[in-house]
Chain A
Amino acid sequence: DTEVTQTPKHLVMGMTNKKSLKCEQHMGHRAMYWYKQKAKKPPELMFVYSYEKLSINESVPSRFSPECPNSSLLNLHLHALQPEDSALYLCASSQDSRFGYEQYFGPGTRLTVT
C-alpha cells in the first residue's frame, strides 16, 4: 500500500483564520514532505521532515508552521494567510530522505484564502 491521505480535501479560510492541514501515512516511512502547487506549475518544496525532525525549510514564511507529532503524521498550521497562498498543498513521504527518489504523494488539500 502506497497511500498517503490528506485532510481536508478542500479548505476556504479568511485572512485572519487559523487552520491546519493534516497528512498521514502508514507505510513506515521516516521522511515526510510538504509541497505547494499553483495552477499549471510543478510542486514547490516547502518543508522536509526526517525522523520527525525538520531537515529542510525552503525559506517559507512563518505564517506556515509545520509539525510532525509522530512518524506517521504531518501537520501544516496556517495563520494570517494571504490570497496568493491559495494553492494545492501536497504531502509526500519516502522511506527516508535518502530515498527521496521514491516519494509518494497524497491527493492534496485545495486551499482558497479569501
Chain B
Amino acid sequence: QKEVEQDPGPLSVPEGAIVSLNCTYSNSAFQYFMWYRQYSRKGPELLMYTYSSGNKEDGRFTAQVDKSSKYISLFIRDSQPSDSATYLCAMIGSSNTGKLIFGQGTTLQVKP
C-alpha cells in the first residue's frame, strides 16, 4: 500500500463548476500537506501548504486537512479552463528532511 493515495482521474468538469480533489494517507507522522499544480511539460507549482488539521483559503482555492481521517482535499471554486492541469498532493513529516511524499496526481480538465 502506498503512503499517499490519489485518484489519477481524469476528472472532467464544465467551466464554473466546483472541483474537489482528494488524497488519503497512512502515515500519521505527516504534519505538512501541500498541493502542487503541474501544467503539461512544466515544473510543479506550489499552490498552498497547510500545517496539521484545518482549512486554508487562497482566492478560489481552499485546502482542507482532516488528520483524524487521514484525508486531505483541495477545492477549486468557479473553475476555469486555465485550471486544466495535473494536481499533486504532497506530504512531509515533522522530522523534516525535505523529502516530500507525493500522490500520483489527478488530471483535471475544465471544459469551456
Contacts from A to B (Cβ < 8 Å): 4, 6, 31, 33, 40-43, 45, 48, 50, 55-56, 88, 90, 92, 94, 97-108, 110
Q: Which residues of A contact B43 (CB under 8 A)?
A: 4, 6, 90, 92, 105-108
Q: Chain A CB within 10 Å — which of B43, B51, B99, B104 has the most?
A: B43
Known contacts A90-B44, A100-B32, then 11 further A-B pairs from the complex at CB < 8 Å, ordered by chain A residue: A4-B43, A40-B8, A55-B97, A94-B98, A97-B97, A98-B96, A101-B34, A101-B92, A105-B44, A105-B45, A110-B41
B51: chain A residues within 8 A (beta carbon)? 101
State A41–B100 Cα separation when bound (angstroms). 14
Closest residue of chain A to B89, judged by CB?
A42
Main secondary structure of the interface of B (DSSP, over half): loop
Cβ-defined contact, B97 with A48, below 8 A: yes
Alpha-carbon gap, A106 to B90, bound state (A): 17
Say whether B96 contacts A97, CB under 8 Å.
yes
Q: Is A100 touching B98 in the complex (CB atoms < 8 A)?
A: yes
Q: Quick one: CB contact mask for B50-75 with A, threshold 8 Å, 1 for yes? A: 01000000000000000000000000
Interface string of B87-103 (1 = CB under 8 A from A): 01010100011111011
A106 to B98 Cα, complex, angstroms? 16
Whole-angstrom distance between the alpha carbons of A23 and B6 in the complex?
A: 30
- Given contacts A102-B46, A102-B49, A105-B43, A41 and B104 within 8 Å (CB-CB): yes
**Which chain A positions have C-beta within 8 A of B90?**
42
Q: Give the docked Cα–Cα distance between A102 and B61 (Å).
A: 17
Contacts of B34 in A (CB 8 A): 101
**Inside 8 A of A56's CB, which chain B residues have their CB?**
97-99
Chain B's closest residue to A44 (CB) is: B102
